[in-house]
Amino acid sequence: MSDAETIAVIPGDGIGHEVVPAALRVLEAVDGVDFEFVHVEAGDAVAERTGEPLPEETLAAVTSADATLFGATGETSADVILPLRDAVDSFVNVRPARTYPGVDAVQPETDLVILRENTEGVYAGIENRLSADVSTLTRLVTRSASRRLGEFACDYVADADADGFTVAHKNNVMRVTDGLFVDTIEEVAADRGVEVDDQYMDAMATHLAMNPAEYDVIVCPNLAGDVLSDLAAGLVGGLGLLPSANVGAERGIFEPVHGCAPDIAGEGVANPAATVLSTAMLLDFLDYDGAAAAVRTAVESTLADGPRTPDLGGSATTDELATAIVDRLPDS
């Protein structure tokens, strides 16, 4: 057997402290992978105690681990996840959204993935207050970031055996920035012989809500990816089901799409599926394909047969769901 995989573990705030331990129970029960977990802190609680939302020790753990499992943070999110994604240079956030047998969905035919640009756009953090009443934000788009996203998308399409991808943008309004974004991605796709379709992101929102089955791989600027993936979550049964992977570079950070859900935090009823499915993406990233498939199968069969957490109409606790998933893993 290979050496242990070092995983930095950051529960963060709120339901992060419920869904991350649940996902760790699943990872620990997976056969054939040896993990060493490094538990570190980030977010509102540690900021309140120490003044620092992202302690040096946490940053060091993430940059030296093979991968990171992240829960969610609250008010301090932008001070935590943005620098972390930056520190490992994970330039794309992969967000699959699909329906599951047994889970009520607004759009049962949905099975798509959003590839969200992760480093720039309006989330680059370039904001200025010019006066008490006037503020500005600079939207950063570079050829290099657009190019590597385009290349990632082409590789993704090839691996997934997809026909091509759709790029979301608004180059009729943001002519310079989204002009560069779309043109660069289309150039890469043309060089690679990958089919690409492009759509205005607002029109895409409508079309996605009504005809999600027409989409397979969607490539988005940062903010559009954030919004469209929450829309996709609504189509498939809620935020409790959507995992994500911050990848593209040597190290990855895996986290549910949802936030720290202060409205249900502490009740022990958060749906851990999104975080468990994020660990399946982590296993894929570390090349444990069999283990990743086993986790996905166990989640699917649990969602099909129950128990279910309240967000999916059941009354199970986070722990009960984790136990059901662990029980469905193949015996070691």
Chain residues that interact with ligand ATP, rule: CB under 6 A: 15, 19, 72, 77, 239-240, 258-261, 263-264, 270-271, 274, 311
Read off the tokens for 118.
């992760």
Cβ-based nearer residue to ligand ATP, 185 or 281: 281
CB of 218 to ligand ATP, least distance (A): 19
| Cβ neighbours of residue 263 closer than 8 Å, sequence gap 6 or more | none
CB of 95 to ligand ATP, least distance (A): 12
CB of 271 to ligand ATP, least distance (A): 4
CB of 240 to ligand ATP, least distance (A): 4
Q: Which residue is nearest to ligand ATP (CB)?
A: 259
Cβ-based nearer residue to ligand ATP, 263 or 331: 263
Cβ-based nearer residue to ligand ATP, 4 or 137: 137
Q: Residue 69's beta-bridge partner residues? A: 9, 254
What span, in angstroms and rounded, lies between the C-alpha atoms of 73 and 55? 14
Cβ-based nearer residue to ligand ATP, 166 or 302: 302
| Cβ neighbours of residue 28 closer than 8 Å, sequence gap 6 or more | 35
Displacement of CA 171 from its chain's centroid (Å): 25
What span, in angstroms and rounded, lies between the C-alpha atoms of 222 and 55? 25
Q: Residue 116's beta-bridge partner residues? A: 93, 220
CB of 313 to ligand ATP, least distance (A): 12
What span, in angstroms and rounded, lies between the C-alpha atoms of 58 and 312? 34
- Tokens 């992977």 sit on residue: 245
Cβ-based nearer residue to ligand ATP, 194 or 239: 239
What span, in angstroms and rounded, lies between the C-alpha atoms of 81 and 60? 14
What span, in angstroms and rounded, lies between the C-alpha atoms of 329 and 277? 13
CB of 163 to ligand ATP, least distance (A): 31
Cβ-based nearer residue to ligand ATP, 80 or 157: 80
**What does the angle CA 173 – CA 179 – CA 180 come to, to the nearest 5 degrees?**
145
Strands in 164-169's sheet, in edge-to-edge order, are 35-39, 5-12, 67-72, 252-256, 243-247, 92-98, 111-117, 217-220, 164-169, 195-200
CB of 154 to ligand ATP, least distance (A): 29
Cβ-based nearer residue to ligand ATP, 179 or 234: 234
